[in-house]
């Protein structure tokens, strides 16, 4: 079948004004959208800017907006989004500066990620065996461990894109949740300085766009709400302890 | 000379670190943690963002004889590794692998890695191919796992620890050259994607941890980034490569796409069936069946397809067999294999709990690579002398713990055990040594190399055409079953293709975020490694592990129980050999 990729092109170096260009591509219905993009890049226009690596939805390199929705190009099958002759619109993620075409600057996204102390802060000192954790305790934080930090949720978030660009965003909260709900971790107090602020968890307004677009099918909004709850409980307990 | 070529020939900066690590997968990040006890002294350079590294796609597990589910011993793990590698494994290294795997898994858990758990809260373990109890008696539960995203969790955990320890990252800088002077390493020359500029990183110690190079094959589980940059750059610098003829085909890739379907599907009880519905592994490995080592299962599948026993029955390139996990039930599939279920739904439109998964073998793992000792130090040849300050670890290295065929889950073990060892050795090395003196012209070679990509070629050959041709030559002529005639053809064609590559020209003259020259460098690296692979494979006139010669179907210990070393000079390859350490087990016939 044939599709037409309509790609938003721009390159601050020599082509700064964003514009759309169309590329007709012959594809198999079962091809990935990434396959069609790479056909253009490798056979039609080598200047097309796109990131890719694993090509099966794990590395998180090729998040972009496909027909207006954040997706991984390697995890989007042509027949699932287009019929023969259809136009497929490809645009870079929102809320991140464009570097070239479909490539965006994720530095601010990763800075926000780093701000929540996204690493294990253990309750117990290291030991030469494993720390015990019951299966149900392990499953408590299973969902957020699937996150690949592709940035799809961040781009989809209307709060980040609109009223509060300083919101640390769904992915950063999710990464905090991964530790907040880990029975072995005691780092919640250290994470409050970022989480318990107007730009932290409380900026989330439950639009659920993050959950809708997550290519790993993580219940992002639910995790954010549970983190809000955990913070409230933690502060109440702290207060009572005083 | 164009503006762009001038730009790409400018050295933007010279940076200095005690240790520089090239590659941010499991080996590189673990080494960074071990070698970065003081801030600002270690840098990790990755051509991707570190979190995009291919370690993240490893699925099924990491072997360690914890004995949490049933009795197990490191000695059994070492034996399985040696037998699995068809006795081409260096046995002392295999014992280090098996013994230190236990501590490495505990260390990862102590750093927060969310392993699945047993009912009493310990790290859970499951079966994997070729891993047995008591020297081959029966499959053993040895693979520690985190659902079917064990590699993802290792990469995430190690990256998180690097964030905690403030490790310096150079994201999206690609290796162009390693500074090697008189067998002493002085740093690296890298190309920055954001600017198109060259940077020099001067360092006392450099670790090459660039991963695999499965992209030389037409059908592969490997990421686009797996182009063997480290081994290729070093080979052009005169460093030998070891055992390059051994490349593993994983038996279960998604039909036609090559996407990996973890062996854990079979570890959990899944079985392979041919077009007649037969569990054909009964005929090839009566004891271990579907949990035989990968090389044997990949060959069994090809044999079934050739005999007309595929699902289509045509034996053509689109023919396949089925991996049947339907009897496991939805709860097991969803709980223990959630990503596999997701891949099957996305790419095949099937639910593995309901329908079998159509699979074909897919090029997966390089057993060969940069020769190192057990501390990751790169060897200059057969006599075990080392390049001062130069290290390699992970898939790009050859210790050798995988020999002629790697067992499932041992890649992650290799990363963590030898990544850690290399990092520790580097930490000590940099304390005892001064910053090397490097010459003012160290970047000139890299600069000339890049200029040639812009201005040297006629542009009448496209990189895409050369890449396609290389991948089909390797797939068709240096694949699962090999013959001398076809490999001679392959070597000649690859030499011609290497010539055609000089006609490729980078067409996009802009400098910022221009991936075209980077992809050209990657293709060049793959071309060099393809040729080395084909020539080494042609030279080994026997069948051993993943190297199966139809014209020499038997293992020949008298002539070939030795490692191959290959030195690349242009398109000329000089071969040598190196003894195999056999200090524990005498070679035996390899049956399962």
What does the pLDDT look like over B40-93, one tens digit per residue? 899 999 999 999 999 999 999 999 999 999 999 999 999 999 999 999 999 999
3-state SS assignment for residue A221 = helix
DSSP A145: G
Q: Are B48 and A61 an interchain contact pair (Cβ–Cβ within 8 Å)?
A: yes
Chain A CB contacts of B146 below 8 Å:
145
Determine whether the interchain pair A132/B343 forms a contact, defined as Cβ–Cβ distance below 8 Å: no
Inter-chain touch A100–B513, beta carbons under 8 Å: yes
Average pLDDT, stretch B497-512?
94
Element at B496 (helix H, strand E): helix B484-501
Task: Select the residue from B23, B24, B48, B52 to test the A interface by mutation, using most A Cβ atoms within 10 A.
Answer: B52
Nearest partner of A86 among A2, A23, A28, judged by Cα: A2
Q: Contact B106/A130, CB-based, under 8 Å? A: yes
Nearest partner of B232 among B575, B571, B577, B522, judged by Cα? B522
Read off the tokens for A64.
């972009």
Q: Which residue of B has its CA nearest to A38?
A: B464
- pLDDT above 70 as % of chain A: 100
Closest CA to A133 of B145, B60, B123: B123
Dihedral (CA of B140, B146, B149, B151) sign:
negative
Specify whether B266 is catalytic: no
The three-state secondary structure class of B546 is: coil
pTM, two decimals, is 0.97
DSSP-derived 3-state class of residue B363: strand
Report in angstroms the alpha-carbon separations of B343 from A33, A35, B61, B131, B350: 15, 16, 18, 26, 9
Identify the active-site residue in B126, B294, B406, B498. B294
- Is residue B97 within 8 Å of residue B414, measured between CB atoms? yes
| ipTM at complex level | 0.97
The pLDDT mean for chain B works out to 95
Q: Range with the lowest mean pLDDT among B32-41, B182-191, B209-218, B473-482?
A: B32-41
Neighbours of B569 (CB within 10 A): 10
Q: Would you place residue B482 in the very low, low, confident or very high pLDDT band (cuts 50, 70, 90)?
A: very high
pLDDT in tens, B370-425: 999 999 999 999 998 999 999 999 999 999 999 999 999 999 999 999 999 999 99
Which residues in chain B are closer than 8 Å to A138, comparing Cβ atoms? 114-117
pLDDT at position B455 is 87
Distance CA B529, CA B531 (A): 5
Residue B58, C-beta contacts closer than 8 angstroms, at least 6 positions apart: B150, B151, B152, B154, B411, B412
> CA B275, CA B548: separation in Å to the nearest integer?
24
Q: Which site among B54, B121, B227, B516 would you substitute to test the A interface, given the most A Cβ atoms closer than 10 Å to its Cβ?
A: B121
User: Which residues, in sequence order, are CB contacts of B312 under 8 Å at separation 6+?
Assistant: B275, B318, B319, B320
When pLDDT is cut at 50, 70 and 90, the band that residue A242 belongs to is low
The mean per-residue pLDDT over the stretch B530-536 comes to 98
- Contact: B57, A46; criterion CB under 8 Å: no
Measured distance CA(B289)–CA(B558) in Å, rounded: 30
Residues A180-209: tens digit of each pLDDT: 999 999 999 999 999 999 999 999 999 999
pLDDT band at B7 (very low <50, low <70, confident <90, very high): very low
**With an 8 Å Cβ cutoff, are A49 and B515 in contact?**
yes
Q: What is the pLDDT of residue B10?
A: 62
Q: Which residues contact B151 (CB under 8 A, 6 or more apart)?
A: B26, B55, B56, B57, B58, B59, B412
Interface touch A133/B514, C-beta < 8 Å: no
- For residue A168, name the pLDDT band (cuts at 50, 70, 90): very high
**Cα-Cα-Cα-Cα dihedral of B532, B538, B541, B547, to 10°?**
60
Q: Closest to B163 (Cβ–Cβ): which among A13, A118, A185?
A: A118
pLDDT above 60 (res B9) = no
3-state secondary structure B6-42: HHHCCEEEEEEEEEEEECCCHHHHHHHHHHCCCCCCE
> How confident is the model at residue B12, as a pLDDT?
86
- DSSP for B384-426 reads --EEEEEEE-STTEE-SSSTTSPPTTHHHHHHHHHHHHHHHHH
Single out the residue of B66, B84, B105, B71 nearest to residue B413, CA to CA: B105
User: Which of helix, strand or coil describes residue B169?
Assistant: strand
What pLDDT is stored for residue A136 in this prediction? 98
Closest partner residue to B57 (CB to CB) among A43, A59, A77 is: A59
Helix, strand, or coil here: B2? coil
Considering only CA atoms, which of B244, B515, B294, B549 is closest in space to residue B400? B244
Angle at CA of residue B343, ends B54 and B131, nearest 5°: 65
What number is the average pLDDT over the span B303-317? Answer: 96
Q: Per-residue pLDDT tens for A12-29?
A: 999 999 999 999 999 999
Q: How far apart (Å, rounded) are the C-alpha atoms in residues A3 and A35?
A: 12
Residues of B in contact with A214 (CB under 8 A): none
Suggest the residue from A40, A45, A55 to mutate for an interface test with chain B (most B CBs closer than 10 A): A55
pLDDT at B457 over 70: yes
């Amino acid at each position: 079948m044939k599709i037409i990729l309509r790609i938003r092109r721009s390159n601050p170096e020599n082509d700064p004004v964003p514009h759309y260009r169309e590329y007709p591509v012959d594809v198999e219905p079962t091809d990935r959208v990434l396959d069609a993009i790479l056909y253009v890049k490798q056979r039609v226009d080598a200047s097309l800017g796109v990131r890719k690596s694993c090509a099966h939805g794990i590395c998180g390199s090729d998040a972009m907006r496909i027909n207006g929705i954040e997706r991984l190009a390697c995890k989007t099958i042509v027949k699932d989004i287009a019929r023969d002759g259809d136009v497929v619109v490809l645009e870079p993620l929102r809320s991140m500066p464009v570097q070239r075409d479909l490539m965006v600057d994720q530095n601010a996204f990763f800075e926000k990620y780093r701000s929540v102390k996204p690493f294990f802060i253990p309750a117990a000192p290291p030991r030469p065996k494993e720390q015990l954790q019951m299966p149900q305790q392990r499953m408590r934080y299973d969902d957020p461990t699937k996150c690949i930090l592709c940035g799809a949720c961040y781009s989809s978030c209307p709060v980040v894109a609109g009223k509060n660009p300083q919101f640390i965003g769904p992915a950063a909260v999710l990464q905090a949740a991964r530790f907040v709900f880990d029975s072995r971790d005691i780092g919640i107090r250290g994470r409050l300085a970022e989480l318990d602020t107007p730009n932290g968890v409380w900026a989330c307004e439950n639009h659920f766009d993050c959950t809708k677009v997550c290519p790993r099918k993580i219940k992002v909004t639910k995790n954010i709400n549970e983190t809000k709850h955990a913070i409230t409980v933690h502060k109440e307990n702290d207060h009572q302890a005083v | 000379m164009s503006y762009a070529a001038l730009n790409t020939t400018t050295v933007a900066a010279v940076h200095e670190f005690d240790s520089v690590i090239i590659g941010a997968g499991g080996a590189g990040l673990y080494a960074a943690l071990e070698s970065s006890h003081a801030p600002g002294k270690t840098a990790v350079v990755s051509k991707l963002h570190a979190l995009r590294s291919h370690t993240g796609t490893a699925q099924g597990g990491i072997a360690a004889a914890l004995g949490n589910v049933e009795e197990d011993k490191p000695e059994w793990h070492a034996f399985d590794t040696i037998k699995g590698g068809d006795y081409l494994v260096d046995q002392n290294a295999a014992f280090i692998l098996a013994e230190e795997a236990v501590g490495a898994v505990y260390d990862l858990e102590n750093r927060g890695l969310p392993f699945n758990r047993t009912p009493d809260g310990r790290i859970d373990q499951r079966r994997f191919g070729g891993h047995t109890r008591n020297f081959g008696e029966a499959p053993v539960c040895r693979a520690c796992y985190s659902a079917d995203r064990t590699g993802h969790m290792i990469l995430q955990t190690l990256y998180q620890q690097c964030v905690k320890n403030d490790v310096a990252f150079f994201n999206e800088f690609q290796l162009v050259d390693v500074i090697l002077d008189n067998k002493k390493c002085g740093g690296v020359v890298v190309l920055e994607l954001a600017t198109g500029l060259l940077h020099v990183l001067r360092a006392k110690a450099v670790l090459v941890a660039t991963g695999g190079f499965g992209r030389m094959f037409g059908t592969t589980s490997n990421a686009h980034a797996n182009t063997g940059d480290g081994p290729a750059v070093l080979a052009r610098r005169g460093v030998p490569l070891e055992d390059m003829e051994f490349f593993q085909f994983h038996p279960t890739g998604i039909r036609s796409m090559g996407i990996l379907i973890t062996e854990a599907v079979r570890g959990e009880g899944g079985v392979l069936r041919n077009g007649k519905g037969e569990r054909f592994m009964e005929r090839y490995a009566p004891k271990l069946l579907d949990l035989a080592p990968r090389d044997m299962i990949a060959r069994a599948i090809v044999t079934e397809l050739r005999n007309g026993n595929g699902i289509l029955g045509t034996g053509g390139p689109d023919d396949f067999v089925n991996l049947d996990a339907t009897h496991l039930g939805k709860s097991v599939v969803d709980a223990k294999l959630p990503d596999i279920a997701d891949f099957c739904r996305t790419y095949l439109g099937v639910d593995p709990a309901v329908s079998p998964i159509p699979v074909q073998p897919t090029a997966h793992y390089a057993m060969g690579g940069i020769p190192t000792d057990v501390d990751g130090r790169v060897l200059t040849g057969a006599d075990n002398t080392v390049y001062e300050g130069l290290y390699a670890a992970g898939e790009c290295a050859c210790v050798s713990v995988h020999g002629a065929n790697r067992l499932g889950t041992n890649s992650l073990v290799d990363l963590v055990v030898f990544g850690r060892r290399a990092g520790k050795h580097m930490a000590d090395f940099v304390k005892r040594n001064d910053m090397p003196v490097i010459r003012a012209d160290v970047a000139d070679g890299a600069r000339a190399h890049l200029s040639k990509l812009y201005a040297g070629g006629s542009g009448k050959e496209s990189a895409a055409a050369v890449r396609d041709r290389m991948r089909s030559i390797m797939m068709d002529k240096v694949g699962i079953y090999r013959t001398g005639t076809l490999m001679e053809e392959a070597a000649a064609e690859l030499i011609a293709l290497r010539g055609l590559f000089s006609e490729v020209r980078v067409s996009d003259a802009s400098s910022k975020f221009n991936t075209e020259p980077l992809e050209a460098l990657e293709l060049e690296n793959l071309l060099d490694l393809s040729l080395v692979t084909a020539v080494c494979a042609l030279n080994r006139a026997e069948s051993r592990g993943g190297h199966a010669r139809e014209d020499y179907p038997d293992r020949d210990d008298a002539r070939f129980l030795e490692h191959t070393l290959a030195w690349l000079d242009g398109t000329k390859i000089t071969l040598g050999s190196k003894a195999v350490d056999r200090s524990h087990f005498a070679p035996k016939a390899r049956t399962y």
